[in-house]
Amino acid sequence: MIAEHMRVTLVGDSRPWGLGPSRRECDHSKMDRLLYAIERFAEYLGSIGWGAVALALAFHLLKVVTRTRAWRNVITASYPDAGVRWRTVLGAYTAGVGANAILPARSGDLLKLYLLKHRVEGATYPTLGATLLVEAIFDTIVAAAVLVWALSIGVVPALDAVPSLPSVDWFWLLDNPATTLIVLTALAALGFSLFLLAAERIDAFRERVAQGFAVLRDPGRYLRGVVAWQAASWLCRLATLYFFLRAFGVHASLENALLAQVAQSLAGILPITPAGIGTTQALLVLLLAGEAPTRALVSFSAGMELILIAANVVLGFLALVLMARTFRWRRLLHREPGFVREEA
């Protein structure tokens, strides 16, 4: 079955995936493949089921809402006296999602923390960062379970076949070992320097980090206020993928929606490119091979990513404008009068 998947060939490229090109050659052709995918998407515009796209976007928005309800409950447990408003968390989270859509390495997560730091009374970055880790616990478990399922049915390529896949972000580290070593060394030095600077305040730092895990001290509260909302967000996520499959004429089923989720999860492991674009496209075409003509799969992979990126950017922009109450970005960055803390 894996062998069949590895023979998938993109129309317009004479080289089958997995039959020879090196990672460096694939990297050079990444932009060509992406442009080709966008062209296929443009060709399919007339045949896209826009009603299904609308439903997919509705579930995508609902996913954001449910995730922010869970995160707000984590933050409230850490700052019980701050009166954390859900709309504040919604705005910060949505702005971060919009930034992640166009910036690499999940830079939008830093924006989320920045906005909340100046909106939640007494908030600190170590505590808010820890709340993100708490939020990731359930997601990691579910994503791992879905990946194990995909491995068990034999649709994920073996490790020795993975290097033959084109447009996968992970290979940038392997193809640029000198740069990777420099970056890792710099990060290690920075981390060690920060540790030395904070050595005298290490106890306070630990307390602030522990404060972010406060909700875990009450398992019932964690299950009701966090896991329940996150479970709902996963249902919305699968519904989003299901309706995107329908919109692009790919066989829509729970199994294929789960496979699409596997592709997104794998692309998110090392999101060097914004939203993991390119990696997601390559994995989607691979995992869904045989479910539709290759042209349709390429159109689906590129089309879904482009539509979600556009939606996330628009939502993020609106969130920033509403939180800053201005179109002037300097006010947002420098906290001028238009950008103030909310009262509890």
> 332, 269, 329, 310: which is closest to 98 by C-alpha?
310
Distance CA 23, CA 20 (A): 9
> 133, 273, 294: which is closest to 212 by C-alpha?
133
Q: What is the pTM of this model?
A: 0.76
> What pLDDT sits at residue 9?
40
Radius of gyration for the alpha carbons in the chain, expressed in angstroms and rounded? 21
pLDDT of the chain, 344 residues: tens digit per residue: 433 444 344 444 433 344 344 444 444 455 566 666 667 667 667 778 899 999 999 999 999 999 999 999 999 999 999 889 999 999 999 999 999 888 876 788 999 999 999 889 899 999 999 999 999 999 999 999 998 998 888 877 654 445 555 444 445 555 556 666 676 777 777 776 766 665 556 777 788 989 999 999 999 999 999 999 999 999 999 999 999 999 998 999 999 999 999 988 887 776 655 555 667 777 888 888 888 888 888 888 888 988 999 999 999 999 988 887 655 555 555 543 333 455 43
24: left (phi over 0), alpha (psi -120 to 50) or beta: alpha
Distance CA 344, CA 61 (A): 26
DSSP label at 218?
Answer: S
> What pLDDT sits at residue 332?
54
- Which residues have a Cβ under 8 Å from the Cβ of 129 and sit 6 or more positions away? 113, 209, 212
- Which residues have a Cβ under 8 Å from the Cβ of 224 and sit 6 or more positions away? none
CB atoms within 10 A of CB 292: 18
> What pLDDT sits at residue 29?
53
Please count the residues of the chain. Answer: 344
Distance CA 53, CA 249 (A): 12
Q: At what angle do helices 50-78 and 86-102 cross, to 10 degrees?
A: 120
- DSSP letters of 223-241? IIIIIHHHHHHHHHHHHHH
